[in-house]
Structure 1
Amino acid sequence: MSSPRAHFLVLTFPFQGHIAPALRLAKRLLAAAPDALVTFSTSEVAHRRMFPSNKPDGADEVPDDEHGGGRLEFLPFSDGTEAGYVRNSDPGVFNAYMSSFHAEGARTVAEIVDALAARGRPVTRVVYTLLLPWAADIARDRGVPSALYWIQPVAVFAIYHHYFHGHAGVVDEHRHDPSFVVELPGLAPQTIGDLPSFLTESTDPSDFFHSLFVTFRDLMETLDKESPKATVLVNTCQELELGALAAVGAAHDVLPVGPVFPSSDVSGIFKQDDESEYMEWLDAKPEGSVVYVSFGSISRMAREQLEELILGLEGSERPYLCVIRKDIKAALAGAEANEMPQHERVKNGMVVEWCDQVRVLSHAAVGCFVTHCGWNSVLESVATGVPMVCVPRMSDQRMNAQLVVREWRVGVRAQIDEGGVLRAAELRRCIDEVMDSSESAVELRQMAGKWKRVVAEATGKGGSSDRNLMAFVDDGARSAV
């Protein structure tokens, strides 16, 4: 009887910022292991948005020529809701959703694993992203090895690890003093204000994101259960975070396998604008002249911030491509918001609702990225050699900005006012600091070019991330025997 093929079940939370890196890793696993199978699974609601033309029931298999001979299958699980999480200012709504997601997700993923085995397609390795700690329990109960795919920096992983392993007290004691400096083992000193927001703002049960604090706590406890060590894949390369890797120490088997992304963007839950329009617009601009602006897939924007943003971009007198999501426009009730249709060209720029960010950042015309510092965006910017203006808000974003500004010196950090608004004058100042001809701006661009080369080498054949991924794949193949 022949041994089963290596079969990776990749599970992820149903937000675009989780789906994109998880799906990219799934495709890398297929490329690295030509005989392997991959099943990609997220919630039913997100699955329907990814594949709106497919039947809601049953699995979706991607065409052979697109993802390696039909070896990639998409099979959704239930989060216990009909519409997924719907934005609401009531923290009880979000925390109730997370409770349903954990309970129903665990139940239906267990059913998927059992059904795959019954079909003669047994899972040999479970890979899960950072808000699904129960995935490891499901795998362990069935004797299947699992790996956490950490889609934030190693430095942030190290902070969570140390917080939940004896260092919570000092953070909790000073959580209301953003300037207080915390020293965690092996890491550079950080202020309370730059630690992950779920550790400083969400520990109280009444907090909006308290369920995320609990989930991260459960995740760290889950990793501690693994024997002899938990495997943690990280979407970074060791050259970017040597110090942080050392800070984790020998607690877990941490493998940097990134930055993981394709030459162009992958399927997601947002519909892109017509690519030809904004790419042709970029083609007509001089090299390094365009400011690209995007604050990710979940950040919200008040009318005052939108007005300051456009005012600052216009005031910079540089061409710009600005992403303003459809849901943001819908939330800004009134004529002014409705007068900003898809693809409208304002005086110096173009506004789109969503775009292929990797392609945009790879375009020679783009010289600056104004970003919320989500880790996907940071990695894409570093890998394409584009300097950044950092406008972090929550979660890991402030720590990511520290890496960009202090560790790699490829960007500047914008200051927001007491009301949380990035003012037009500050935006113009930061854009100038990155894009003008000053000595500091030239150095930023040179450093951006340096790290682009470092990342290319790490992810290329035989590079550090490539070797780590191949080692993981080989281990997965042994698990299938």
Structure 2
Amino acid sequence: MDPPLAPPPPHVIIFPLAAQGHVNSMLKLAELLAHSGLRITFINSEYIHHRLLRHADIQARFTAFPDFRFKIISDGLPLDHPRSSDHFMTTFSYVKSITMQLLEELVSAPDRPVTCIIADGILTFTIDFAGDLGVPVVAFRTISASCFWAYFCFPRMVESGDLPIKGDEDMDRVVTSVKGMEDILRCRDLPSFCRVADLSDWTLQYVPTQTLQTTRARALILNSFDQLEGPAISQIRTHFPNLYTIGPLHSHLKSRLSSSSPSPSSPPPSPASNSIWEVDRSCISWLDKQPPKSVIYVSFGSITTLNRHDFTEFWYGLVNSGRRFLWVVRPDSLAEGGSGAVPEELREAVAERGCVVGWAPQEEVLHHGAVAAFLTHSGWNSTLESVVAGKPMVCWPCLADQQVNSRLVSHAWKVGLDMKDVCDREVVERMVNGVMGERQEEFAAAAGDLARMAREAMSEGGSSWGNLDRLIEDIRSMKPSS
């Protein structure tokens, strides 16, 4: 008599918001789960998927997992549409309208019963849709735990009078109604969506509402680790007892691959980036020629645009600092378009001690010995990559969670400086020289301590390692849809 067939592995649908930062971290999670033997269906927007195929070669990477597949959907815009930083808000209704039918098709497929859905926590309508189909949802918030907690405390901030912010004169008022963070946040450090006088503003209502709705999910995943954001994570855990802090995901994946390497003489391949921009590797050759700890790396992420004034002030500040710099200037970095904003004397200075590229392999850059610090927009992925690399930061946040993250860098972790709400060449020069000069050793020591804690969390026996194991076991214990 033939032995009974082994049950198929659990099948997990992963559904991110169609934005570079969200897709990046959720693809890292997808790879971790696939590496653990789970079946994965990753729902990707046509626009993001098209760019990943061109610049990240994801199809070839994931062929190593025969049970991994992509499901491609439209975001309602043509591929050549110039998407703005908030385009997902304008396409939200369209994506929501097609999601129910999509999930029905996936759940009803007889050959791949669905065990659970890991959905972006900003898309909580999936909880209702999946509930109607009898499939549990695990929410994944790609922002910092501290920002998530600030959003969660929105009703309390309104009730206590911390919101609305009354004007510029109110920006440095301390916010006391975010429990566990009373000595950290000022009004200017709250998420950017809070900077409205009208509490009925659509975005201000939407994001905190989605955060509160997350309690209806079976569990919550955060791309952080307990030692990094302890106060916020402790508070979140009182509302989400089934909480998985498994970050920093980009480095956690490397740790898992290293642990499964067949021998020290054959190291595992490093996980590739999930960039939607073409990487210019000439910057690595340039860094190889620079002295140790002599370069400040400058990047404002994948969607931030600068107006002509800010662009010029950064140029002058970097050049006047006298420091070597590597600056990522995307083709669409300048809001008004065109490249004529750079005066000739600045171009000459770049030839002497600067390097400008359209996109850089950021993880590799941050780990390079020539790089001493990072001038960043404080996106959460970038912040975590800098933490893992042990590099101090100068923060110039623009939107969403970045205001909170920059305050963590300067005030909670003390690994850098925060220049939010200011863009002046003298301030840029002073900040750059702060992390590269007179306070370099102080910030470098603190950043080194954070990097050590991150390594411990992601090592076997560490908090993030254990939480990922627990997540995988919990998924295996779920009953698939019939």
The two structures share one fold, judged by TM-score above 0.5:
yes
Unaligned runs of 5+ in 1: 55-59
Question: How far does residue 23 in structure 1 lie from its aligned partner after superposition?
Answer: 0.8
8 A contact 1:44–1:78 mirrored in 2: yes
Q: Does 1:219 align with 2:210?
A: yes
Q: 1:8 to 1:234 in 2, by over 3 A?
A: same
Q: CA deviation at 1:392?
A: 1.3
Mark the CA change 1:196 to 1:30 in structure 2 (over 3 Å): closer, same or farther: same
**Among candidates 105, 123, 132, match of residue 132 of structure 1:** 123
> Is residue 274 of structure 2 the alignment partner of residue 267 of structure 1?
yes
Q: TM-score, normalised by structure 1?
A: 0.86
Shift of 1:452: 0.7
Alpha-carbon deviation of 1:173?
4.1
Taking the TM superposition and a 5 Å limit, the aligned residue runs for 1:119-198 are 119-164=110-155, 166-169=156-159, 170-176=161-167, 177-183=170-176, 184-189=178-183, 190-198=185-193
Q: Which residue does the alignment assign to 1:250?
A: 238
Q: Which residue of 1 aligns with 2:452?
A: 453
Cα 1:130–1:268, aligned 2, differ >3 Å: closer, same or farther? Answer: farther
Give the residue type in structure 2 aligned to 1:168.
Answer: V
Query: 1:455 Cα deviation (Å)?
Result: 0.2
Quote how far apart the aligned CAs of 1:364 are.
0.9
- CA offsets, 1:30-69, max 9 Å, x none? 22x2x21112112122222222599xxxxx9834x75643
Q: Tell me the CA shift for residue 410 of structure 1.
A: 0.7
Which residue pairs with 2:38 in the alignment?
A: 36
SS in 2 for 1:9: strand
TM-score (norm 2): 0.85
Q: Which residue of 2 aligns with 1:5?
A: 9
Change (3 A) 1:246 1:47: same
Q: Is the 8 A contact 1:79 1:102 kept in 2?
A: no
Q: Percent identity over the alignment?
A: 30
Q: Which runs of 5+ in 2 are unaligned?
A: 252-269
Structure 2 CA distance for aligned equivalents of residues 272 and 119 of structure 1: 41
Paired residue for 2:68? 72
Q: 1:150·1:235 contact (CA, 8 Å) conserved in 2? A: yes
**In structure 2, what is the Cα distance between the partners aligned to 1:146 and 1:121?**
17
Deviation per residue, 1:381-436 (Å, 9 max, x gap): 0000010011112211111011111111111112544xxxx222211111111111
Aligned length: 450
Q: Contact 1:231 / 1:254 at 8 angstroms: preserved in 2? A: yes
Question: How many Å apart are 1:264 and its aligned residue?
Answer: 5.0
> What whole-Å deviation, never above 9, does each CA across 1:88-136 have from its counterpart, x for those lacking one?
69x9x875423223323x235324523xx41511221211223211222
1:175 CA displacement: 4.7
Aligned-pair CA distance for 1:172: 2.9
One-letter code aligned to 2:234? A
Q: Distance in 2 between matches of 1:174 and 1:431?
A: 30
**After the TM superposition, which residues 197-208 of structure 1 pair with which residues of structure 2 at under 5 Å, given as runs?**
197-201=192-196
> Among 300, 311, 315, which residue is 1:306 paired with?
311
Amino acid at match of 2:388: A
Residue type of the partner of 2:112? R
Deviation at 1:316, TM superposition (A): 1.8
Query: What RMSD in Å do the two structures reach over aligned CA positions?
Result: 2.9
How far did 1:174 drift?
3.7
**What SS is found at the alignment partner of 1:326?**
coil
Amino acid at match of 1:235: N
Please name the residue that 2:471 is paired with: 472
- 2:250 aligned counterpart, secondary structure: coil
| Counterpart in the other structure of 1:348 | 353
SS in 2 for 1:232: strand
One of 280, 292, 297 as aligned partner of 1:287: 292
